[in-house]
Amino acid sequence: MSSKKKQDQVLIFDTTLRDGEQCPGASMGLQEKLQVARALARLNVDIIEAGFPIASPGDFAAVQEIARTIKGPRIAGLARCVDRDIEAAGEAVAPAGKRGRIHVFLATSAIHRQFKLRKAKEEIIKAAVAGVKKAKTYVEDVQFSPEDASRTELDFLAEVVEAVIDAGATTVNIPDTVGYAVPEEFGRCIRYLKENVPNIDQAVIHVHCHNDLGLAVANSLEAVRNGARGVECTMNGIGERAGNCSLEEFVMALRTRKDAFGDLYTKVETKEIFRTSRLVSQLTGLHVQRNKAIVGANAFAHESGIHQDGMLKERTTYEIMNPEDVGILSGTELVLGKHSGRHAFREHMHDLGFKLTGEKLEGAYNAFIDLADKKKQVYDDDLVAIVQQHIMEKPPGTFVLNYLHVSTGNVTVPTATVRLEKEGVISEDAACGDGPVDATLKTIDRITQVPGTLVDFALQSITTGKDAQGEVTVTVRFDDHGLVTGKASSTDIVEAAAKAYLNCINRYIAGKTANEEHPLP
């Protein structure tokens, strides 16, 4: 590492907790965001964009708590070039001290100027400069993004960039906001700024690429080839619409193809990639597709006889990287058994990134023992599922599954009896349905009086073996809220479905309550 030059380092700006969470149905609570932030710190990203503080009381609280508790990376809060946004961001990142960053943005493209902002070029520059100067009263580290930069006239983009750097911006981020760019032209855009902005060396150029054409990683790679030194990305590539530049893909491309990218490097601890990917998938409820590069289940699988033969003779015939380099161990290893004590359990959970004490430790340990009685083998993914279901703090008004009984068969009308508990009050009902899951969800609707429309239902095994937990992911639409995604696991897939559906209902209720109690100004 000592031989590597600072100017060759590409900073990793992770926006999983901000842009990634904007993926429909992917919202996380405070405790879930803290777990992801801790994982990102272990991954050794340079900057964590913790949220958009003005967006909601929950976002503000999450950014502030992450700024207070997470050490190492810089902590950024997003803000429009609006005083109240910047004030909220400044207050939220304050606990991070000198590691706090305010990320202000303002659209610059002709289409945004004409239809969204209805402002002339001079007004855009004036507002951008004012936003940066306002942010500088709270933090030294200010980042500015000209939204929709890839569709902005290059000469005007250069003018804006020069003005915000003069105003004090230390980082200028060039977003491909709608995923419109192709690599050659995006690289040309970065090169143009490097050659035509007189003060460009006073700031670091970042890029923020969306994946609408499937080119987010390619555009980011071309940008760093042309002088950008920061890439904004998310774990598993989650985010608005088709998502963002995938952190794991960009990092491993840079590492694997040194012949193409020379001395460029990141400080990401790549052996944490797979574990972080799995955690983000668990906590957001968003599946990682099996054929996803780097972290998908098939990423290092070889079924073709020709491939298998080549692999047996020489691994590099069909693998361009070691699975161990991204934290995928060869084979699934048993981690704990039902005779493991609390100390061993606590230490192992700490190794997984979960700091458990007091009631949380006791609750997780008891859930682990219950699972170990049902399964011969308990794996890391089982433990992550336990944390996701049993440890995350549940807000007041949360429904908890107390009892479930299902009667089903090919000559029986599927019937479910469900008992739910809410703040000490027990409610029970029963309903019939097209199958055991349908009957269960209809019964839950009757009890909660919060009916949702099931948009998507997916089931997959968490680990291996006949006794593996089934992981159910559901996406539910609520008429006045949009899509909410929930995930739960159990050795009983009907129980997992019930808990995942309740997870959606609880998230919906919590979000609705927060908005009613703390309306945005």
* 76: in domain: yes
- The span from the CA of 105 to the CA of 127, in Å, is 10
CA angle 377, 327, 71 (to 5 degrees): 105
* 5: in domain: no
Q: Tell me: pLDDT of 498 over 50.
A: yes
Residues 226 and 306 in one domain: no
Give pLDDT, residue 384. Answer: 74
Give pLDDT, residue 515. Answer: 56
CA dihedral (303, 489, 511, 237) in degrees, to 10, reads: -20
What is the average per-residue pLDDT within 265-271?
97
Q: Give the structural domain span for 385.
A: 342-390
Residues 77 and 225 in one domain: yes
Confidence of residue 3 (pLDDT cuts 50, 70, 90): low
* 1: in domain: no
Residues 129 and 216 in one domain: yes
* 307: in domain: yes
Backbone φ and ψ for 107, nearest 5 degrees, come out as -70, 145
Structure tokens at 430: 């029963």
Q: Tell me: pLDDT of 399 over 70.
A: yes
Give yes or no for a contact between 76 and 40, defined as CB atoms under 8 angstroms apart: no
- The span from the CA of 74 to the CA of 96, in Å, is 8
Confidence of residue 395 (pLDDT cuts 50, 70, 90): low
Residues 213 and 312 in one domain: no
Confidence of residue 519 (pLDDT cuts 50, 70, 90): very low
DSSP 202: G
- The span from the CA of 365 to the CA of 135, in Å, is 45
Give the strand order in the sheet containing 412-422: 399-409, 412-422, 425-432
Residues 433 and 504 in one domain: yes
514 alpha carbon, distance to own chain's centre: 22
* 374: in domain: yes
* 294: in domain: no
Residues 504 and 357 in one domain: no
Give yes or no for a contact between 47 and 74, defined as CB atoms under 8 angstroms apart: yes
Confidence of residue 29 (pLDDT cuts 50, 70, 90): confident
Q: What is the pLDDT of residues 174-223, one digit of tens each?
A: 999 999 999 999 999 999 999 999 999 999 999 999 999 999 999 999 99
Q: Tell me: pLDDT of 336 over 80.
A: no
Q: Tell me: pLDDT of 32 over 50.
A: yes
Residues 237 and 369 in one domain: no
* 511: in domain: yes
Give yes or no for a contact between 206 and 174, defined as CB atoms under 8 angstroms apart: yes
Q: What is the pLDDT of residues 240-254, one digit of tens each?
A: 999 999 999 999 999
CA angle 268, 273, 275 (to 5 degrees): 140
- The span from the CA of 302 to the CA of 343, in Å, is 39
At 60, which CATH number?
A: 3.20.20.70
Q: Measuring CA to CA, how many Å separate 128 from each of 13, 26, 101, 234? A: 21, 31, 16, 26
Domain total of the chain: 4
Greater model confidence, 341 or 108? 108
